[in-house]
Amino acid sequence: MVTFDINGAIVEFDEKMNNYNSIRKLFKNQAEYARDNFKNYCLDNILTLKDLSEKSLELGMDNIESTIKKGVETLVGYNLITIDINTFKECYCAKYLNYQRMFNNTIKQTKTKSKKSNYMTKASLKPLIENLSIYIYNDCFNIHNAVIDALIKNDIEIVSSKVDEDNIKKSSALFNNYKDGFINRVDGTMVVKQIITLNPYRMDVYEYLIKEDGDFNREIERLADYLGYDLKPYKNQLMDEYIDDCLKNDTDIEFIKDKVAKYAKYIGSLNEAIYLTRIDAIQMFENA
């Protein structure tokens, strides 16, 4: 059992959910690698629409094939050894794979819109590459669903099923009511627990909780990291916004530094010293 204390809301994940999350997180990381690998190569090497149409389909498919192999490797790791790459691809992955279709549609639509089917500026190619990299990410990430399907269908009872649509809708409705103030503070912790338990995979929920309720013990950040999300950039953004607001409304630097230090503790930021140094630097610049 993995447990998190989200400002008094005790959220627990059992072993099956823990295994599901490990698989999901593995393929999230794999998908991010495939997306970035594809995007970086194309941005550095693709100069024309012809290049894009001839080279990026194969490159994208290679990244997806590598992720499919990772899927079979994962199944074998859970002692499901009767499914090979071809079986996994045909019987479990096919319904989750859309890159080739989306690629063909993208190239076709672009050629139709462009009077010159080959020459495009690098700037105009960039959004196409960005879109294709997202399609690759989606295919690679969705292979985790194929892995879960294969395990469950073959009675490997070590993972929970995917978060279903009904629970996603219930979690979303609870979160909306929580944000809109329809949930009183007495019931708040119970509702937060339900929101996360029904669908833990919503970054915006954790961002909202940090901003509105704080993250003194950094458990929200720990939970997000467990699920595969990085909340540090968001906390840095909150610190930047808070400092800007303080500097606009106050002139007493020591008072501002005290407020900033308290706010850093409130949201669970470990960069308090960096931000206090920044305030000192701003004061020195203004007094120079």
pLDDT tens column, 234-246: 999 999 999 989 8
Q: What is the pLDDT of residues 121-160, one digit of tens each?
A: 777 889 999 999 999 999 999 999 999 999 999 999 888 8
Q: Which residue has the higher pLDDT, 217 or 283?
A: 217
Q: Please give the model's pTM, rounded to 2 decimal places.
A: 0.87
Q: Confirm whether 44 is domain-assigned.
A: yes
Tokens matching residue 189:
């912790």
Q: Confirm whether 89 is domain-assigned.
A: yes
Q: Confirm whether 172 is domain-assigned.
A: no
Q: Which residue has the higher pLDDT, 275 or 287?
A: 275
Number of domain units in the chain: 1
Q: Confirm whether 66 is domain-assigned.
A: yes
Angle at 138 between CA 132 and CA 141, to 5 degrees: 140
Q: Confirm whether 214 is domain-assigned.
A: no
Which amino acid is residue 15, in one-letter code?
A: E
Return the pLDDT at 116.
52
Taking residues 244-257, report their average pLDDT. Answer: 84
Return the pLDDT at 183.
84
Among 49-53, 179-183, 249-253, which stretch is predicted with the lowest mean pLDDT? 249-253
223 pLDDT above the threshold of 80: yes
Name the residue range of residue 95's domain: 15-153
The C-alpha atoms of residue 134 and residue 278 are separated, in whole angstroms, by 36
Residue 45: CA atoms inside 13 Å, Cβ hemisphere, count?
A: 13
4 pLDDT above the threshold of 90: yes
Compute and round to an integer the Cα radius of gyration of the chain.
24
Q: What is the pLDDT of residues 32-41, one digit of tens each?
A: 999 999 999 9
Q: Confirm whether 197 is domain-assigned.
A: no
Among 34-38, 189-193, 263-267, 279-283, which stretch is predicted with the lowest mean pLDDT? 279-283
Mean pLDDT of the chain: 91
Q: Confirm whether 5 is domain-assigned.
A: no
Return the pLDDT at 276.
87
Q: Confirm whether 125 is domain-assigned.
A: yes
